[in-house]
Amino acid sequence: MNRRSLSSWTSRRSRRGRVRCAAAAAVAVCALAATAVAPHAAADAPPAASRAAELPEHALVGYLHASFANGSGYTRLADVPDSWDIIDLAFGEPTSVTSGDIRFSLCPPAECPGVESQAEFKAAVKAKQQAGKKVLISIGGQNGQVRLTTPQARDTFVDSVSSIIDTYGLDGLDIDFEGHSLSQDDGDTDFENPTTPVIVHLISALRTLKERYGDDFTLTMAPETFFVQLGHQYYGSGPWGGQDPRAGAYLPVIHALRDDLTLLHVQDYNSGPVMGLDGQYHTMGGADFHVAMTDMLLTGFPVAGDPDKVFPALRPEQVAIGMPATPQAGNGHVPPAEVEKALDCLTKGAACGPYTPHGTWPALRGLMAWSVNWDRYGGDKFAATFDQYFG
């Protein structure tokens, strides 16, 4: 997610109860025929993670610009409106691309007038948690490229992320790896058995963190469509090479950690056209794009068009829809009426457009926005839409 606004695909309680695609040209040599796809439900889906059970039935996730300033203005953690259930602190970033050493610090006062002290920030974390919110450290973003190429980088990642979580008393971790953080080596074509070091080491690191903190550890991910849904059409460099090796690169990570994953909120913005399960290309900017992209996560899909390699469906309570809160926040912003249409279609089977999803999912967890700051800049309209719909 871009610190200023997000550019392009190629270059984020009692009220409800607790209950980047230039690569397409490079891969045209193995373009798939457009074919309709039947649902692929997850077999023997595991019970919901205990952490997910502690979330509201429908949750709103937002990124807080905690370490930097941009045109949206600085918001103190204590001033984040009560609507936001999961607050992702943006961002923890590495000391170098391959070090695995993640650092987080509050925005400098010269850049963010009014920034709180460390003590005030820690107190705000506790206050949010006492109010039933989750506060996570988000790693990566547009500028934070992370490649865990070695076991040493993996171990450093675990230790440095743990240090941030312990220092601020956080609830867990959000993975927002973008750009070239994840890619697959030539010949790595099976998402169920990855061999690429940066993917294998990331999976290992996240499992270690989960084991270290136990069932109370909240794990979320915010990949771009290029790294997830594009995997239906293209996966890695392909069987003959020549494709963008980043295509679908999140799939092995999501799949390996699906039993531990609290929430996946793909960034349905700054995206090129993506082929849906109907064999048609869908473009951002309306409810239909969100319906088609979310349907893929909740139905499952063949990876690289191979019916023998199906990415299984996620549970609806593990899925939220990622959107820009305002037009300034990223390409693909939709007005509140389109947000509601997408939710109606996915949760009720009503108000669907040209794309017909393969089911209805009333338990869809909710929405994610880039960002809390941009929403406040725009008059809190995104949060208000969520509250009105699910309130």
Cis peptide before 91 (omega within 30 of 0): yes
* Residue 62 neighbours by CB under 8 Å, 6+ apart: 80, 84, 86, 87, 88, 325, 368, 369, 370, 371, 372, 375, 383
CA geometry: angle 377, 80, 161, nearest 5 deg: 110
Please tell me which residue in 93, 116, 178, 338 is annotated as part of the active site: 178
Cβ contact 291:268 at 8 Å: no
User: Between β-strands 281-282 and 59-65, what pairing exists: parallel, antiparallel or unpaired?
Assistant: unpaired
Task: Point out which residues pair with 263 in neighbouring strands.
Answer: 220
Residue 66, judged by CB atoms within 10 A of its CB (0-12, 13-18, 19+), counts as buried
The verdict on whether 178 is a catalytic residue reads yes
Amino acid at 338: E
- Rounded distance, CA 155 to CA 58, Å? 35
- Rounded distance, CA 162 to CA 177, Å? 18
Which residue reads 């967890």 in tokens?
Answer: 365
Catalytic amino acids? Answer: 178
